[in-house]
């Protein structure tokens, strides 16, 4: 199994184990519950069927006894007419008492005439002959239908004055002649007491004796509403109708609204149905008690299994978190090492290019100054020489542009940052961009509302936008669309952690997107390296993106490239948000006049490069200034002390002997307070910069410079009042 499989498999295996530790016991418990329920139901069914067999046997015996008693009474009355029975009432009364004395379930014995009037009764002497039983259903059935045996419903006895039901047998010999009836009264309490003993007083059980038409003759427990009207359980009648001989049923009684499991049986010898039932609540309670014993052992076992699974999962998570932290640390170190290697490479290239640019700028300064001096001293009519000098000067300017880009990449160019609104800058450059890119490139600007300000060198940022636009145009040789977008952005800690030299915080974003050919990941990785280009020979120096990279980094920002081959490219520039603390009036820029001349002011030129110093001295003298010169700081200090009256110190920043131009200026101002100073260099030093930004009190002109710019700058510095705030940079 691969590492990825193990990483993804282990969590699922552990989750599966946790789920199984719950699901499996639940399934087992569910299956056990179902089996326990089936077992409980089977036991309840067996219970009621067993009770039904006992109760049926008992009721059959009781009815057999009553019928036999009725026949014995009939035999004792054989041959006696109604009148004879009346005459012998007292003797027959005592005889009836003797005959029923051994039967506790018999409440009374009554002999009826054919018209339903009592002739003799065991319960009373003399009998009330005005009473009649002709309205009883069982009497009518014996008289009219010729039945030999009938069972009456539960009534309040007219002679006994107690609740009973009657077993009625036909009086006399068999035949069509109806001679009357013999009634044997049966107390329902007898059956109720028997069932109470059978069920040990448990009211969860129920038993009943029903007539074939459903009329309740006796019940245990006693029905809640006792009345003269016959009581019938419709739900039970429906069950009997489906299976008249007997069976099993489940449902809710219509008499007491209790759900029961019942078993019933129709007696074969009598029109009687015996029913035994058990409440569903007792069945469920029995099942719950059974399941409780399982839960006593099952719950602790399940919780133990779940706890073990959770402990295993927690242990795995700790191990996984440790491994993930280790992997993250390894990745972070790899990123840091890669960033360090890239930083060291760029730093080494930056030092190399910065040193080359410094020396090269000195040479270009010499060449540029001498060409200009030659142009000024050429006699009239030297058009051919003027063309040659112009061509040479054009080459010097192109070389100066290259060195400028090299210094920008090396982050050694002096910057003059100021609060800037990117939206206004983009709007102001729109016309220039359209002229530069041509008609084949459509330009669209998407400027965010409420855009934050940034603090940056505006001229350099304009060069950045122009470089990016020109690169985008070159990536769209057949035309396309260029989108320039501004927006507020926040680079969070996660983004900063994955990229070197990026600080989390609020930024203003400038994005340039083209629809060109796009770049491969290999090209993106090297895009910011100086002299790296994918353009054909002679069509690019490879310094455009390098200059962008160096300037943005020097300005405290971040630049990123997003591109895919065939899908265009997007370069996003992030510059730190600037929050203005106080309003300052913008520094007024002097008007550059064409080669302004001096009025005899004295200028001290301190330059260690002899050729540069000679060119600068000649140029300044040609402009009408008195010039002193020195090759190092110590000579410069001696000249200031000895000569005095110097109007301007024009010094290189980098000087030999351990004393730089800034230290020289400080010493000169100590000797001559109010002395004006103009710095120059082809390679910036921290002496006049703080993180690449010029100090607030510094006048500076970068090498290589032309004589017109030098003359204007000299004049500007000389014309600035001594107590005025200084800080303008050309």
Q: Domain check: are 553 and 606 in the same one?
A: no
**Domain termination residue (choose one: 307, 328, 350):** 307
Residues 610 and 467 grouped into a single domain: no
DSSP 580: -
- Whether the pTM exceeds 0.85: the reply is no
Is residue 418 in some structural domain? yes
Integer Rg of the chain from CA? 62
Residues 448 and 486 in one domain: yes
- What was the pLDDT predicted at 697? 64
Residue 76 lies in a domain: yes
Of 649, 691, 696, 693, nearest in space to 670 by CA:
649
Task: Identify whether 334 is part of a domain.
Answer: no
Angstrom distance (rounded) from CA 630 to CA 628: 7
Angle at 728 between CA 620 and CA 657, to 5 degrees: 60
How far is the C-alpha of 185 from the C-alpha of 62, rounded, in Å? Answer: 12
CA distance 254 to 258: 8
Final residue belonging to a domain, choices 242, 276, 307 = 307
**CA atoms of 102 and 110, how far apart (whole Å):** 17
- Enumerate the H helices of 271-421 as residue ranges: 280-377, 383-409
In 3D space, the residue among 71, 117, 121, 69 whose CA is nearest the CA of residue 92 turns out to be 121
Q: Are residues 82 and 198 in the same domain?
A: yes
Neighbour tally for 131: CB within 10 Å: 15
> Range of 33's domain?
14-307
User: In this structure, are 93 and 167 located in the same domain?
Assistant: yes
Q: Is the dihedral of CA 412, 413, 418, 423 positive or negative?
A: negative
Bridge partners (DSSP) listed for residue 111? 120, 182
Contact 621, 640 (CB under 8 A): no
Q: Show the tokens assigned to 542.
A: 């490879």
- Cβ burial of 233 (10 Å; 0-12, 13-18, 19+) is buried
* Nearest residue to 707 via CA among 615, 625, 631, 627: 615
Say whether both 539 and 635 belong to one domain.
no
CA 66 vs CA 12, 59, 72, 174, 267: distances in Å: 78, 11, 10, 19, 15
Query: CA end-to-end span of the chain, whole Å?
Result: 68
The answer to whether residues 627 and 571 belong to one domain is: no
Query: Helix %, strand %, coil % for the chain, to 5?
Result: 50, 20, 30
Q: Specify whether 569 is located in the same domain as 608.
A: no
Q: Do 558 and 641 reside in the same domain of the chain?
A: no
185 and 120 fall within a common domain: yes
Burial of 1 (0-12, 13-18, 19+ CB in 10 A): exposed
With b for 16 or more beta-carbon neighbours within 10 A and e for fewer, the 194-217 pattern comes to bbbebbeeeebbbbbbbbeebbbb
Is 387 part of a structural domain of the chain? no
Which residues are registered as beta bridge partners of 559? 573
Give Cβ neighbours of residue 86 (< 8 Å, ≥ 6 apart).
119, 120
What pLDDT is recorded for position 615?
82
Mean pLDDT by 10 residues, the chain (730 residues): 44 68 72 82 89 91 90 87 89 90 86 91 87 87 83 75 84 83 89 89 89 86 63 82 88 82 90 91 85 72 70 76 84 71 64 66 74 75 75 72 58 69 86 83 88 85 84 86 91 76 87 88 77 57 66 82 88 88 46 60 88 84 88 87 86 82 86 87 56 62 79 86 46
CATH (domain of 187): 3.30.450.20
- The pair of three-digit structure tokens given for residue 138, joined into one six-digit string: 């069982």
Q: What is the pLDDT of residue 405?
A: 56
Question: CA 77 to CA 72: how far, in whole Å?
Answer: 9
Q: How much is the pLDDT for 593?
A: 43
Do the domain assignments include residue 349?
no
User: How far is Cα 262 from Cα 632, in angstroms, rounded to an integer?
Assistant: 125
Q: Does one domain contain both 570 and 607? A: no
Strand pairing class (181-186; 106-112) = antiparallel
Neighbouring CB atoms inside 10 A of 643's CB total 12
Residue 374's CB is within 10 A of a number of other CB atoms, namely 16
β-strands 700-702, 181-186 pairing: unpaired
Contact indicator for 509, 573 with CB cutoff of 8 Å: yes
**436 and 555 in a common domain:** yes
How is residue 284 written in tokens?
A: 């469920």
Place of tokens 């470089």: 467
Residue that terminates a domain, selected from 520, 546, 578: 578
Contact of 676 with 717, CB cutoff 8 Å: yes
> Can you give the CATH number for the domain in which 574 is found?
3.30.565.10
Angle at Cα 166 formed by Cα 160 and Cα 167, nearest 5°? 140
In a domain, 329, yes or no: no
Q: Say if 340 falls within a structural domain.
A: no
Q: Using CA atoms, how far apart are residues 533 and 539, in angstroms rounded to an integer?
A: 9
Instruction: Kindly report the CATH number assigned to the domain that includes residue 708.
Output: 3.40.50.2300
Strand partners, 491: 505
For residues 11 and 9, give the distance between their C-alpha atoms in angstroms, rounded to a whole number. 6
Token pair listed for 16: 């599966």
Supply the DSSP string of 456-514, one letter for each residue: E-HHHHHHHHHHHHHHHHHT-TT-EEEEEEEEEEEE-HHHHHTSTT---EEEEEEEEEE
Contact (CB, 8 A) for 674 and 608: no
User: At what angle are helices 280-377 and 3-76 packed, to 10 degrees?
Assistant: 160
Query: Is residue 438 in a domain?
Result: yes
Q: For residues 581 and 439, what is the distance between their CA atoms, to the nearest angstrom? A: 43
| Tokens coding 39 | 């077992």
d(CA 63, CA 169): 12
Query: Cα(222)–Cα(206) distance, rounded to whole angstroms?
Result: 9
Domain total in the chain: 3
Q: In this structure, how many other beta carbons lie within 10 angstroms of the beta carbon of residue 682?
A: 29
């Amino acid at each position: 199994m691969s590492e990825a499989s193990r990483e993804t498999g282990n969590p699922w295996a552990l989750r599966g184990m946790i789920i199984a530790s719950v699901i499996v016991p639940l399934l087992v418990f569910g299956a056990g519950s179902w089996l326990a329920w089936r077992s409980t139901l089977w036991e309840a069914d067996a219970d009621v069927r067993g009770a039904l067999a006992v109760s049926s046997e008992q009721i059959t015996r009781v009815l057999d006894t009553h019928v036999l008693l009725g026949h014995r009474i009939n035999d004792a009355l054989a041959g006696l007419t109604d009148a004879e029975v009346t005459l012998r009432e007292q003797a027959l009364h005592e005889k009836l008492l003797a005959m029923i004395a051994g039967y506790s379930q018999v409440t009374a014995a009554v002999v009826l005439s054919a018209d339903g009037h009592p002739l003799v009764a065991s319960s009373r002497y003399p009998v009330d002959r005005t009473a009649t039983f002709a309205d009883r259903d069982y009497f009518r059935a014996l008289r009219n239908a010729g039945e030999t045996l009938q069972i009456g419903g539960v009534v309040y006895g007219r002679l006994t004055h107690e609740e009973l039901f009657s077993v009625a047998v036909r009086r006399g010999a068999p035949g069509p002649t109806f001679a009357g009836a013999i009634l044997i009264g049966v107390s329902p309490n007898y059956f109720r007491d028997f069932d109470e003993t059978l069920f040990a007083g448990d009211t969860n059980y129920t038993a009943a004796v029903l007539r074939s038409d459903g009329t309740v003759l006796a019940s245990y427990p006693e029905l809640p509403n006792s009345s003269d009207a016959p009581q019938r359980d419709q739900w039970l009648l429906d069950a009997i109708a489906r299976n008249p001989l007997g069976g099993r049923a489940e449902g809710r009684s219509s008499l007491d609204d209790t759900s029961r499991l019942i078993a019933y049986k129709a007696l074969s010898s009598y029109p009687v149905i015996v029913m035994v039932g058990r409440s569903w609540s007792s069945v469920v309670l029995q099942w719950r008690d059974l399941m409780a014993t399982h839960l006593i052992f099952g719950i602790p076992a399940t919780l133990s299994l779940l706890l073990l699974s959770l402990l295993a999962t927690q242990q795995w998570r700790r191990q996984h978190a440790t491994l993930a932290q280790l992997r993250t640390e390894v990745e972070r170190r790899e990123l840091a090492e890669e960033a360090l290697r890239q930083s060291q490479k760029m730093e080494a290239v930056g030092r190399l290019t910065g040193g080359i640019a410094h020396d090269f700028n000195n040479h270009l300064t010499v060449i540029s100054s001498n060409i200009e001096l030659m142009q000024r001293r050429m006699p009239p009519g030297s058009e051919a020489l003027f063309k040659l000098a112009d061509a040479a000067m054009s080459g010097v300017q192109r070389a100066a542009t290259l060195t400028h880009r090299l210094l920008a990449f090396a982050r050694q160019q002096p910057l003059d940052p100021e609060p800037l609104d990117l939206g206004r800058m983009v709007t102001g450059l729109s016309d220039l961009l359209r002229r530069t890119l041509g008609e084949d490139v459509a330009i669209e600007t998407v400027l965010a509302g409420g855009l934050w300000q940034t603090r940056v060198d505006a001229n350099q940022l304009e060069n950045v936008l122009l470089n990016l636009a020109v690169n985008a145009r070159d990536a769209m040789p057949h035309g396309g669309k260029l989108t320039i977008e501004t927006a507020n952005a926040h680079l969070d800690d996660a983004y900063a952690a994955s990229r070197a030299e990026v600080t989390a915080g609020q930024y203003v974003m400038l994005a340039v997107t083209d629809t060109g050919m796009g770049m491969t990941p290999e090209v993106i990785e090297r895009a910011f390296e100086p002299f790296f280009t994918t353009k054909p020979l002679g069509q690019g120096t490879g310094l455009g993106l390098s200059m962008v990279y160096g300037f943005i980094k020097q300005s405290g920002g971040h630049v990123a490239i997003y591109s895919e081959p065939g899908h265009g490219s997007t370069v996003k520039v992030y510059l730190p948000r600037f929050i203005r603390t106080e309003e300052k009036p913008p520094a007024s820029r002097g008007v550059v006049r064409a080669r302004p001349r001096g009025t005899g002011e004295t200028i001290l030129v301190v330059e260690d490069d002899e050729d540069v110093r000679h060119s600068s001295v000649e140029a300044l003298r040609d402009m009408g200034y008195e010039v002193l010169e020195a090759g190092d700081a110590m000579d410069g200090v001696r000249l200031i002390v000895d000569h005095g009256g110097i109007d301007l110190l024009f010094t290189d920043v980098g000087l030999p002997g351990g004393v730089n131009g800034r230290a020289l200026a400080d010493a000169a101002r100590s000797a001559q307070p109010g002395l004006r100073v103009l710095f120059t260099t082809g390679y910036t030093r921290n002496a006049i910069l703080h993180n690449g930004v010029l100090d607030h009190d510094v006048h500076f002109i970068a090498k290589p410079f032309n004589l017109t710019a030098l003359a204007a700058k000299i004049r500007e510095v000389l014309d600035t009042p001594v107590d005025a705030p200084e800080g303008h940079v050309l």
